Structure 1
Amino acid sequence: MPSRRTMLTSAAVACAGVVAGCAAPDDRTPNLSGEWTQLGYDATNRNAALDRTVPGSVATAWTAPTDRWPYVPPIVATDAVFLAASDSVRSLEARDGTERWHRILEGRIAAGLAVSDDVVLVPEHRLDDPDRLRALDLEDGKAHWTLEFESRPFAPSVADGRVVCRTQEACLAVESGEILWRTELDQLAYDEYNVPDADDLTSTVVPAVTADAVAVPDHDALVCLDPDDGTERWRVDLHGAISSPVAIDGAIVALGVHETVAVEADGTERWRIDRGGWGAIAAADEHVYTLARNGLSARSVADGDAAWEVSAGNEIYRGQPAIVGDAVLMADDDLLAVDRDGPGLASSGEVFRVGDDHHATTYGGVAVGAGRIFVVDGFENRLVAFEPES
């Protein structure tokens, strides 16, 4: 990282009350420090901060209003939280929500943000002018550089100072505002599912980047590109591919609308199952955690076998799960933390649940850092910051 940033099986009993700590150990010491600098947490898209610990219960620390349509997750860097909504980007103090700066754009937010060195990267969609990626200063929001695209950009991924970004028509690698390579791709449009341009869904699509691969969804396919020049290395069929892939254990794991596939580095399929969705994937150690209409599933990275499943909100399948230490967080009508080991005979598996109608946007997700858990409330157009309950 750059120097300046260094539901439970049907047998489970839901917890009552606004905030509940149902399975949290008595000695759970919270650690919400650090940063969350892009969708997917880092370039591998694992959505996992394993060096942190969620508390047994949380309370609202503060809320801040947003502009309309806050449909991408916040990110955290330099003790600030960055929030994109409608036609603006805000930087707020993570501690208390005090505004550092507020930048109005010419167009509207196209996708999630990312931090690279001393700038925040902002994908922007404009109706009458070319879409673009803008680099705004972390400290004051002033523009460092602007790069115009031929079509709407999705969320950027940052790896070793290089930015990789998919658009509706291509995947590009960018450094200091200059395009290094560009590979044409098909549009992520699925008329059969009433997503002719997938605008809302692709706002959280971000490439998975490793030293050897750039993995991105293409139309009905998962594609691996060479990170040095963008040459296509392999592709596998994946019907309704419109989610961010994850790199873990030498493989790429990705969701289609009705299936999940794990692919080896050489393009050989490791496994494929008939369970899919349009949300993100979280991954750590031996498991991947995926969201579908019926909730959250934990599956083996090795063979795809289910370890456990939990139920959640009706729209959770579009969300972004986050692994924080030994828990998986997800946001819908509730903010819910589940033990990564899942439910047991004597435990529901819940670490905490906040169920006071925050209505977290199902196109967004959770960001953890600077002592807070951040969730966007899309119904009330606000950002909610949670802290450990004292």
Structure 2
Amino acid sequence: MNQDLSAAEILWMCLMGGLLVQMLFALWNAACLPKIYSFRKSSITPPDTLVSVLIPARNERLHIEECLESVLASHTKGFRMEVLVLDDRSEDETAALVQAIADRDPRVRLLYGTDLPAGWMGKSHACHRLVQEARGEWFMFVDADVRVMPDAIRQTVAAGSAQGGGLVTGFPYQVVKTWMEKLVVPMMMFTIISHLPIFMIRRSANPMFVAATGAFLLIHRTSYEASGGHAAIQGHLVDDMSLAKAVKRAGHPVMLADVHDVTSTRMYQNGEEVWNGYKKNMYEGMGRRDVLLLGTMLMYSVMYIVPPLGLVVGLLTGNATSILYGFTGTLLGIAVKRVSDHVGGQPWWLSLLQPISMACVIAIGMASWQAGRSGKGYVWKGRRYS
């Protein structure tokens, strides 16, 4: 190595190498993500298979009608469908809107939530109640803010049939309107594409290799029962990940698929909801492991915040080394974000805001850690979770 290289230059070069490896991993990882439409020609057997679409709903008057209408418009050649909606003690018109649709379509049934038992999380209990009433061979969990294209459910059941049961899930296309949504929501896909080896989700029985979203999640009845279902994870705040891990522990397969072409959702309506939603999930999603969360936030700071800061400092001071490496590192970080945004169907220009997005994620991560460690807990949909 050139002896004229300073310690700072060596550190910069190591950082550039790490970012280059990260970009190459993201490209390879994205290529490993199976497309849900690739299973559309798979047969669903037997042809009279009943699929139970299960929708937990709490204060969802803004979403529930469009969600139900999109589900009911699904192509169901090769299977039958029932749709169960549980009104989880809503304080708005959710129940009335569902009942109006049920009155004109016999496939829809409205259930009513009860007081939350001790030790249960709200959504897990709602899903548990839905399963108790479901008659289907497959359970298709759909969040009330999700919209499905006509072939979405059929293609997902085909994928589940092709893998012989188990669980199939995928992240819907994220509709983002406010600036906080644009900056933070697509980072969910960034995390998966950047860090989780997707091919290991299907090939490894280790529950460490798993990703799931309860917004759009299909599970075979046998696999659900073998995993213990939501009763086995009743106290887990991040229920979707916990259920997927339980399925793997039971020896059943799990598939993460690309479903953004056939599903969409707007998870949050404003910046406050984005903050609270991610704050609720980040520390819990990492198993409340301080070292893992804080280590990840530190790694993000070094890899994605230091380069743009170095570029700014270099421009202000005229330091050519800082300008060169800061600019190169910033471009590599943007490139990684562009890969994940492409997978999620987001516009190309959003990746240019990657340093700001990362700063927001780090801030929410630290807030999540502080709330979890202090015992203050999290507030979501009018309920407080500790």
TM bucket, shorter chain = under 0.3
Relative to the length of structure 1, the TM-score reads: 0.24
Q: Higher helix share goes to which structure?
A: 2
Relative to the length of structure 2, the TM-score reads: 0.24
